[in-house]
């Protein structure tokens, strides 16, 4: 029934202008404002996927990762994003640790988390060659 539907993901932010600046300028994504009944932001991703970002007055940041960006070289990507002002999360617990570069290299994937201006969690995750 839905196998041919071009599904997309969405999440909320508290300030669509800040989100647009962050996703365009800091992350370098194709982010376009759409005007239906309210301003929304559509991210166009490699491969044809899209994500819709919408404003919500009583926005509460997601407590989980809403968007993962696969990268081949996580060290370079993290360094470049930091140079653009992106702040990465740091963890030091029994279950999750990050190194001095804010990268987790534990039992799971090599990954680094950061937040958008609305506090939603995003990540860069290293993939093989």
How does pLDDT run across 68-116, given as a tens digit for each residue?
999 999 999 999 999 999 999 999 998 899 999 999 998 889 999 999 9
Cα gap 111→118, rounded to integer Å: 21
Cα gap 81→71, rounded to integer Å: 12
Per-residue pLDDT at 129: 67
Compute the mean pLDDT over every residue in the chain, rounded to the nearest whole number.
Answer: 93
Domain ranges for the chain, please list them. 9-126
Cα–Cα separations (whole angstroms), residue 32 to 79, 94, 118, 128: 26, 41, 18, 30
**Beta sheet of 9-13, edge-to-edge order:** 9-13, 50-55, 39-44, 30-35
For tokens 């800040």, the residue is 18
**Beta sheet of 111-115, edge-to-edge order:** 65-71, 121-126, 111-115
Answer yes or no: is pLDDT of 5 > 90.
Answer: no
Answer yes or no: is pLDDT of 14 > 90.
Answer: yes
Per-residue pLDDT at 41: 95
For tokens 């539907």, the residue is 5
Cα gap 73→19, rounded to integer Å: 25
Class in CATH terms, 9-126: alpha beta
Tell me the mean pLDDT in the region 50-66.
Answer: 95
């Amino acid at each position: 029934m839905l196998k041919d539907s071009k599904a997309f993901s969405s999440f909320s932010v508290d300030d669509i202008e800040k989100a647009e600046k962050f996703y365009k300028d800091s992350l370098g994504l194709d982010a376009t404002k759409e005007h239906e009944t309210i301003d929304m932001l559509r991210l166009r991703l490699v491969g044809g996927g899209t994500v819709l970002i919408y404003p919500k007055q009583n926005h509460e940041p997601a407590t989980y990762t809403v968007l993962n960006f696969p990268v081949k070289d996580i060290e370079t990507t993290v360094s470049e994003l930091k140079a653009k002002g992106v702040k990465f999360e740091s963890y030091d617990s029994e279950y999750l640790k990050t190194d001095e570069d804010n990268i987790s290299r534990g039992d799971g994937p090599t990954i680094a988390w950061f937040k958008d201006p609305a506090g939603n969690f995003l990540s860069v995750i290293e993939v093989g060659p």
